[in-house]
Amino acid sequence: MKNSTLIQVLKSFSKDEYEKFNEFISSSYFNKAVYVCKYFEKIKEYYPEFLNLEESKEKIFKSLYPGRIYNDATIRKLNSEVLKLAEEFITVSSLQNQNFLKNTLLLEQLDKRKIDSLFSRKLSSSYLLLEQSGLRTEKYFKDLTALNDIEFLFYSMRNRTKGFPVHCDSNENLDKFYIIQKLKKIIVIANESKHRKKIFLGKKEIAGFINSVKKNQFFNLPSIQILYNVFMIIWEGKTEYFNSLKDLFKIHKSEIGEDEAEWIYFTMINFCIIQSNAGKKEFINEELELYKSIIVDNFLLFNDAIETDFYKNIIFCAVEAGDFEFAENFKDKYAKNIFSKDKDYIVDLCNADIAFAKKDYAKALEILAKINFTDVQQKFNLRNLSLKIFYENDMYEQAFLSIDSYRQNLKREDTLPPDFTRLYTTFITLYKKLLKIKLSKNQNEAQLLNINIKKAETIGKVWLLKQSEALF
């Protein structure tokens, strides 16, 4: 019983929800079974963890049915009844916050009951509710289509001439909804690397759809233009789409839903990372400005937490851009929100990176020596920073010893995802070549290595490019 579906549902309730469910289950409108109320009275004292409830089943049974022999089937039936009521409570509670859905359900009933005057007032208020949201998203056009259809059905039984223009509006709004939904679906697929091959095999179908969107009469709709540019950034990776998206987003941000805004931000950030890795250093500042906007727009935290790599990336980007003040402030302000058991070490790693950027190599190495990550990937990130310090501080012996140790650990490590293993392997290979060229001072080899780094998929690409360029 402790792992039953009922207990899982009840444990998911907040304290406020649990109190409201107690009122719900006691209401004769929703529940007329007094025996279910009595049973819930017995089990609610075990909230929130419901510990020892399994062991208390017989005790609860005897208090409900004095003199009867314990029957587990009866307890199971009671659990089933409470679960049904819990499901109903969740549904009703969810509906309370769905004003538009409540309105459409009411409109349908008012139409059936032929209460025309109230229908007209509620229809007007429903349209107004949509307009006041300010959003012009997939959901907006879906809801607008639903209202159009309700209005058309209403007039089809009363005044078909008046209803026809509404039907035309419904068709147009349905087209807008479809285009936005289709764009969002192919963007999701495009962002999933495991589907990339499938996408490019189906390029004709996608290209055909994209071309039709661009020629469509609704292309000037900001939400469609924005999603079009998001897709084209992923599809072709051209700066013109990045600039267009940046301008559109700045002008029409208030019309875009939270989901779309997150897609826009992270598409633009990924583009900046790709461009800076290709040697276009101006995109490092672009990336940092995007992070700052994410903070202002309250997209940084999810359930009051920040993902470890995202936290580090923001700090590393700020350091790379030379904005040490922002890096320090961000690091300290959001350290408590890091979603990792290694959060203290993550902060230490960031402190070491800041010290390294300020060329305080002794401090950076001192901090790194105290870090003991449990996460394998973070252990390699620590090694990578150590190697950079050895290189820039002319600690050649330590660097070559670390390279050998790095390779051995990488070969032994079987828990690291293959993609990361490949990135780390490429980095250590390029790093070793870079180190040898620094010692030999061969400018021709340095230029050749720089070209190879630009083509390579590796971590630390910006740093590798910077160091190789310094050698010729």
The whole domain housing 17 covers 5-96
pLDDT tens figures, 300-329: 998 899 999 999 999 999 999 999 999 999
Asked whether residue 87 is domain-assigned, the answer is: yes
Residue 251 confidence class, pLDDT cut points 50, 70, 90: very high
Mean pLDDT score across all residues of the chain: 92
Q: Among 192-196, 226-230, 288-292, which is the least confidently predicted range?
A: 192-196
* Rounded Cα distance, 254 and 257, in Å: 8
| b (16+ CB within 10 A) / e for 116-132 | eeebeebbeebbeebee
Residue 126 included in any domain: yes
Nearest Cα neighbor of 144 from 173, 180, 109 is: 173
Predicted pLDDT of residue 188: 84
Of 61, 96, 131, the residue that ends a domain is 96
Q: Let me know whether 472 and 382 are in one domain.
A: yes
What does the alpha-carbon distance between residue 356 and residue 234 come to, in Å, rounded to a whole number? 33
Please check whether residues 145 and 178 belong to one and the same domain. yes
pTM above 0.85, yes or no: no
* The pLDDT of residue 192 is above 80: no
Contact 341, 315 (CB under 8 A): no
For the chain, report the end-to-end CA distance as a whole number of angstroms.
Answer: 71
Domain boundary (163, 182, 201) is at 182
Q: Is residue 124 part of a domain?
A: yes
Number of domains in the chain: 3
Cα distance between residue 288 and residue 318, in whole Å: 6
Please report the pLDDT score of residue 458 as a whole number: 92
Check: CB of residue 222 under 8 Å from CB of residue 252.
Answer: yes
In a domain, 210, yes or no: no
Q: Which of 412, 437, 436, 439 is nearest to 424 (CA)?
A: 412
Q: Are residues 391 and 468 in the same domain?
A: yes
The token duo for 394 is 């002319």
- From 49, 70, 96, the end of a domain falls on 96
Instruction: Give the count of beta carbons closer than 10 Å to the beta carbon of residue 437.
Output: 22
Measured between alpha carbons, how far is 316 from 446 in angstroms, rounded to an integer?
26
Is residue 16 domain-resident?
yes
